[in-house]
Chain A
Amino acid sequence: MTTTTGRATPARLLLLGAILAVASALAACVTDAAPSASQDMEAVAQGIDKSLMCPICPSETIDQSQTEIAEQMRRTVREKLAEGSSRDEVLQFFVERYGEDVLAAPPKSGFNLLAWLVPPLALLLGGGALALALRAMRQEHRRSANANGPQAGAAGLEPYLNAVDSDIRSLTADDGGRGKG
């Protein structure tokens, strides 16, 4: 979009080059996005650790908690994964054992969908209200601009304008002065 009107300034060339670089780099990461499973099992396990609450300590995940039961659960997570269970299956196993509140975040299904849907809806609603408010304020501006033109009551202002100019000069003098009034 910008290149249709602009000259090829160095900044633009740089931008173009950088965009190409990013594109190629992203393409590169998509192609090797599937790392070997064995290497990543611990990473999956740690991800699960962070999504499970320790059932006896208030609001700590088993990843954070240093209690016996948390340690036990961490071990179980790794055993289950080694047996070939998927992440969801492991989580389900703990939900059946300890109840829904062992999950660190509510599941995205059923009634609990509410937890996930309300925030974006609220933001959209807020954004809509903001857009309406901005529109109303712009209309107000047009109305007032039409009602009294920019130079309303400007007759005979000359001496006051001069006073304002000298005020501004003295104000900006100690900031190092301004270019030209």
Chain B
Amino acid sequence: MADLGYICLLIALALAVYSPAASMIGVRLDSRQLVASGRRAILVSPVVLAGSTAGLVGAFVTADFSVSYVAEHSSRAMAPQYIWVAIYAGNEGSLLFISFALSVLAALAVYFAPAALRPSMPHVGAVLMAVQIFFLAVMVFLANPFAPLDPVPPDGRGINPLLTHPGMFAHPPMLMTGLISFSVPFAIVMGALLSGRTGDDWVDAGRTWGIISWALLGIGLLLGGWWAYTILGWGGYWAWDPVENAGFMPWLVMTAFIHSIMVQKRRGMFRMWNLALVIIAFGFAQFGMFINRGGPVPSVHSFGASTLGWVFLAFMGATMLASFAVFAWRYNGLRSAQTLESALSREAAFLVNNLLFLGVAFVTLWGVVYPLISELFQGEIVTVGQPFYNQVNGPIFLLLILLMGVAPFIPWRRAGWSSMRRALIAPAAAAAATVALLVLLLSVTVPWALISYGLCAFVVAGILREWARGAHARHGRGESYPVAFGRLIAANRPRYGGYVVHLAVVLLALGVTGSSFYGIQRDVALAPGETADVGEYSIKYVTASATAFPDRTEMTAEVQAFRGDAYLGTYYPRRDFYPGFNIASTQAAIRSTPLEDLYIIPGELLEDGRAIFRVYVNPLVMWMWVAGPMLLAGVAVALWPQREPAAQSVALRGAGVAAGSGGTPEATAG
């Protein structure tokens, strides 16, 4: 099995080398056959890499410990469903996974390329496969997932226990797919630059793939937060850890891009800027993969770490250099007159959005590299952690939410102050009312939390107002409200899909604000039968039991939760200790309600029979997990293809104006 996997890897590498060569020579010689052959190679490679992945899976299934990767990341005691996790648990396997994901994405991008992109497709495919060459070459020459192990050990080392959690089935593959999917918009942009078709041909495909990769990475990050919340046992979901930041930065830049590309789609402006944004986003995605693979900064996530990081850094430097060299080469063709009617217009609002998103990305990058700068210039190691990011990025995020509330009311080209004022009264009133209610009824007093919730109400009221007015206008023309609402969305998909995503962002903001400012935390040591109060809740420790497994010991505590006198249920938080790794992993007991989560983490058992618990009450966190599906729904609406208006004017096709000039063979307009 392993041999077959390795052979497939070699075939894939051959295909990856052949494809760009054939395409580029084909373009140079004007040979359609060569170009078609290069395209075929892209379509074939996912099949070959699937063979390679199957080889690795086969080795895991047959417990073939003569393969070093299998011996490192599995054992006979491992439950079979964790084979899926083991595939990407280490460096070599995750490279194979990334390479496979890239080949699938590349094949999809090539197969579904729209007609407008066809002339530059040879270049797009060549860039995709050039990226693929890197991953395959690293596997073949530096980090072979099928490397043999001699002598063959009787049993494997086992999987990292932190990875044996349902969240691990989805989060790492999603994150890796998200990061590598940035190659597709990057290739589309580079294809446009290389082929010299730097006009607006690439815009639709670039936007579609930009949004897809943005959504993949976004969901990957959210799943990461969910995993951290339910297993890492500190009651949080985001720690501004270097690895998390490295996944976050490309997402921020891509967010900027999927907004500003709308200006090019509608008005043909900001061409150079959009191209540059995609290139930067891809650079950050590579930076993310570099940090993931043993960068210079310590992180809780560096279980796949190795010295391979420096190869990734070199690749990142080389691609960025080459990209901007091509950019400079095409510079003259990229310049176009940018005209703006007013600084108060949708176009300008998108630019402000870009400034803020790039600002957050910059702050985050600055926080990641500052320790290195400090070490270099003052010879002193410092830590840049959560307090820094919360204090610096927090206000920028609030500004972004404010912009999210105002921008929908700013029309293209220019806005009038009076209509803006009219539109903003209702949302502003909603915001003020929310703040007043929070202060008076719930006695919320933290200014930042009040600002955040006020802004959330502002955004939601604004979006609801847009929906209501749109539906009402249509209703006035004889449509029933549901039909009017549906048609309203169907007729303006990018905008209304965007609003749904904005609502998802508001949900995230609710959860983040609630849990950061109003979370309650208590550490308690309880003897069996004792009760402790945490906020409005009280928890009673009943008993604990320990079960021994070949690879771990599970300590399960039985805890009853009450609110006041009302019994809420019995919960079983668990703490697993893995002697082989000297790692303890906890399975928190979480009672999730829309209002707040009661979150219980078991600590160690003390010698006197007491057990330590950390209990959190985290308000509104559940809404953060609702945001994920909502975000996907918004993306689906925004990407759902709109009926393209006919290429030829309806009236031209009829007798209309065209009669004078004689019949025109339709085929020419094809």
Verify whether A and B have any Cβ pair under 8 Å. yes
Chain B 642-657, CB within 8 Å of chain A: the 1/0 string? 0101000111100011
Q: In whole angstroms, how far apart are the Cα atoms of A174 and B470 in the complex?
A: 16
Q: Which A14-52 residues have a C-beta within 8 angstroms of B?
A: 14-15, 18-19, 21-22, 25-26, 28-29, 33, 42, 46, 50-51
**A152 adjacent to chain B (CB < 8 Å):** no
Q: Contact between B300 and A100 (Cβ–Cβ < 8 Å)?
A: no
Q: Contact between B392 and A2 (Cβ–Cβ < 8 Å)?
A: no
Q: Contact between A137 and B339 (Cβ–Cβ < 8 Å)?
A: yes
B242 CB contacts on chain A under 8 angstroms: 59
* Most-contacted residue by chain B among A28, A65, A138 (CB, 10 A): A138
Q: Which B492-535 residues have a C-beta within 8 angstroms of A?
A: 521-523
In the complex, residue of chain A having the shortest beta-carbon distance to the beta carbon of B244: A59
Q: Which A111-166 residues have a C-beta within 8 angstroms of B?
A: 111-112, 114-116, 118-120, 122-123, 126-127, 130, 133-138, 140-141, 144, 159-160, 162-164, 166
Interface of B is mostly: helix
Evaluate whether A123 and B359 lie within 8 angstroms (CB atoms) in the complex, with A106-B382, A167-B651 already known.
yes
Which one, B348, B387, B436, contacts A21 given CB within 8 A?
B436
Q: Contact between B433 and A104 (Cβ–Cβ < 8 Å)?
A: no
B359 CB contacts on chain A under 8 angstroms: 119, 122-123, 126
Q: Contact between B380 and A167 (Cβ–Cβ < 8 Å)?
A: no
**What residues of chain B have their CB less than 8 Å away from a CB belonging to chain A?**
232-234, 236, 239, 241-242, 297-300, 302, 337-343, 348, 351-352, 355, 358-359, 362-363, 366-367, 370-371, 373-374, 377-378, 380-388, 391-392, 396, 421, 425-426, 428-429, 432-433, 435-436, 439-440, 443, 445, 473-474, 477, 479, 484, 487, 490-491, 521-523, 584, 586, 603, 643, 645, 649-652, 656-657
* Most-contacted residue by chain B among A59, A63, A135 (CB, 10 A): A59
- Work out how many contacts link A and B, with CB atoms closer than 8 A: 205
A10 to chain B: closest CB distance in Å? 9
Which one, B352, B487, B657, contacts A163 given CB within 8 A?
B657
Evaluate whether A171 and B657 lie within 8 angstroms (CB atoms) in the complex, with A106-B370, A118-B366, A144-B337 already known.
no
**A76 adjacent to chain B (CB < 8 Å):** no
Q: Which A56-90 residues have a C-beta within 8 angstroms of B?
A: 57-61, 63-66, 74
A25 CB contacts on chain B under 8 angstroms: 435-436, 439-440
Q: Contact between B370 and A115 (Cβ–Cβ < 8 Å)?
A: yes
Interface of A is mostly: helix
Q: Contact between A46 and B382 (Cβ–Cβ < 8 Å)?
A: no
A122 CB contacts on chain B under 8 angstroms: 359, 362-363, 366
Which one, A9, A11, A50, contacts B386 given CB within 8 A?
A50
Q: Contact between B340 and A15 (Cβ–Cβ < 8 Å)?
A: no
A101 CB contacts on chain B under 8 angstroms: 371, 380-383
Q: Contact between B477 and A177 (Cβ–Cβ < 8 Å)?
A: yes
Q: In whole angstroms, how far apart are the Cα atoms of A122 and B378 in the complex?
A: 22
B342 CB contacts on chain A under 8 angstroms: 138
Q: Contact between A53 and B338 (Cβ–Cβ < 8 Å)?
A: no
Q: Contact between B436 and A106 (Cβ–Cβ < 8 Å)?
A: no
In the complex, residue of chain A having the shortest beta-carbon distance to the beta carbon of B377: A111
A59 to chain B: closest CB distance in Å? 5
Task: Kindly list 17 other residue pairs between chains A and B, CB separation below 8 angstroms, not including A21-B440, A66-B586.
Answer: A14-B433, A50-B386, A59-B242, A100-B382, A105-B387, A112-B374, A114-B373, A118-B366, A122-B363, A123-B359, A126-B355, A134-B340, A134-B343, A135-B343, A137-B339, A159-B656, A159-B657
19 A-B pairs with CB atoms under 8 Å apart are A21-B436, A28-B439, A99-B381, A101-B382, A103-B383, A104-B387, A105-B384, A111-B377, A112-B382, A118-B366, A126-B358, A130-B352, A133-B351, A134-B348, A144-B337, A162-B656, A162-B657, A163-B651, A179-B477
B435 to chain A: closest CB distance in Å? 5
Q: Contact between A140 and B491 (Cβ–Cβ < 8 Å)?
A: no
A60 CB contacts on chain B under 8 angstroms: 234, 239, 300
**What residues of chain A have their CB less than 8 Å away from a CB belonging to chain B?**
2, 9, 11-12, 14-15, 18-19, 21-22, 25-26, 28-29, 33, 42, 46, 50-51, 53, 57-61, 63-66, 74, 99-106, 111-112, 114-116, 118-120, 122-123, 126-127, 130, 133-138, 140-141, 144, 159-160, 162-164, 166-167, 170-171, 174-177, 179
Q: Contact between B363 and A106 (Cβ–Cβ < 8 Å)?
A: no
A117 to chain B: closest CB distance in Å? 10
Q: In whole angstroms, how far apart are the Cα atoms of A122 and B521 in the complex?
A: 36
B381 to chain A: closest CB distance in Å? 5
In the complex, residue of chain B having the shortest beta-carbon distance to the beta carbon of A32: B445
In the complex, residue of chain A having the shortest beta-carbon distance to the beta carbon of B604: A66
In the complex, residue of chain B having the shortest beta-carbon distance to the beta carbon of A42: B522
Q: In whole angstroms, how far apart are the Cα atoms of A59 and B523 in the complex?
A: 22
B324 to chain A: closest CB distance in Å? 19
Evaluate whether A15 and B425 lie within 8 angstroms (CB atoms) in the complex, with A59-B242, A163-B657 already known.
yes
Q: In whole angstroms, how far apart are the Cα atoms of A176 and B471 in the complex?
A: 11
Evaluate whether A167 and B383 lie within 8 angstroms (CB atoms) in the complex, with A21-B440, A29-B439, A175-B487 already known.
no
B487 CB contacts on chain A under 8 angstroms: 175-176
Q: Contact between A141 and B341 (Cβ–Cβ < 8 Å)?
A: yes
State the 6 A-B residue pairs at the shortest beta-carbon distance, nearest first: A18-B432, A25-B439, A163-B651, A58-B298, A21-B436, A104-B385
Evaluate whether A103 and B382 lie within 8 angstroms (CB atoms) in the complex, with A29-B439, A176-B477 already known.
yes
Q: Contact between A46 and B521 (Cβ–Cβ < 8 Å)?
A: yes
In the complex, residue of chain B having the shortest beta-carbon distance to the beta carbon of A104: B385
Q: Contact between A119 and B374 (Cβ–Cβ < 8 Å)?
A: no
Q: Contact between A64 and B477 (Cβ–Cβ < 8 Å)?
A: no
A102 CB contacts on chain B under 8 angstroms: 383
Evaluate whether A29 and B445 lie within 8 angstroms (CB atoms) in the complex, with A105-B384, A170-B650 already known.
yes
Q: Contact between B584 and A66 (Cβ–Cβ < 8 Å)?
A: yes
In the complex, residue of chain B having the shortest beta-carbon distance to the beta carbon of A25: B439
B366 CB contacts on chain A under 8 angstroms: 115, 118-119, 122
Q: Contact between B429 and A138 (Cβ–Cβ < 8 Å)?
A: no
Q: Contact between B645 and A167 (Cβ–Cβ < 8 Å)?
A: yes
In the complex, residue of chain A having the shortest beta-carbon distance to the beta carbon of B642: A175
Q: In whole angstroms, how far apart are the Cα atoms of A117 and B371 in the complex?
A: 15
Evaluate whether A57 and B233 lie within 8 angstroms (CB atoms) in the complex, with A115-B384, A137-B340 already known.
no
* Most-contacted residue by chain A among B388, B432, B484 (CB, 10 A): B432
* Most-contacted residue by chain B among A26, A74, A101 (CB, 10 A): A101
Evaluate whether A33 and B234 lie within 8 angstroms (CB atoms) in the complex, with A66-B584, A123-B359 already known.
no
In the complex, residue of chain B having the shortest beta-carbon distance to the beta carbon of A177: B477
In the complex, residue of chain A having the shortest beta-carbon distance to the beta carbon of B523: A74
B353 to chain A: closest CB distance in Å? 11
B292 to chain A: closest CB distance in Å? 14
B335 to chain A: closest CB distance in Å? 12
A136 CB contacts on chain B under 8 angstroms: 338
In the complex, residue of chain A having the shortest beta-carbon distance to the beta carbon of B241: A59
Q: In whole angstroms, how far apart are the Cα atoms of A171 and B647 in the complex?
A: 12
Q: Contact between B351 and A130 (Cβ–Cβ < 8 Å)?
A: yes
A120 CB contacts on chain B under 8 angstroms: 392
A144 CB contacts on chain B under 8 angstroms: 337, 339
In the complex, residue of chain A having the shortest beta-carbon distance to the beta carbon of B645: A171
Evaluate whether A176 and B479 lie within 8 angstroms (CB atoms) in the complex, with A130-B355, A141-B340 already known.
yes
Q: In whole angstroms, how far apart are the Cα atoms of A137 and B298 in the complex?
A: 45
Q: Contact between A66 and B382 (Cβ–Cβ < 8 Å)?
A: no
Q: In whole angstroms, how far apart are the Cα atoms of A114 and B384 in the complex?
A: 12
Q: Contact between A11 and B241 (Cβ–Cβ < 8 Å)?
A: no
Which one, B348, B388, B421, contacts A2 given CB within 8 A?
B421
Q: Contact between B341 and A138 (Cβ–Cβ < 8 Å)?
A: yes
Q: Contact between A59 and B300 (Cβ–Cβ < 8 Å)?
A: yes
A39 to chain B: closest CB distance in Å? 13
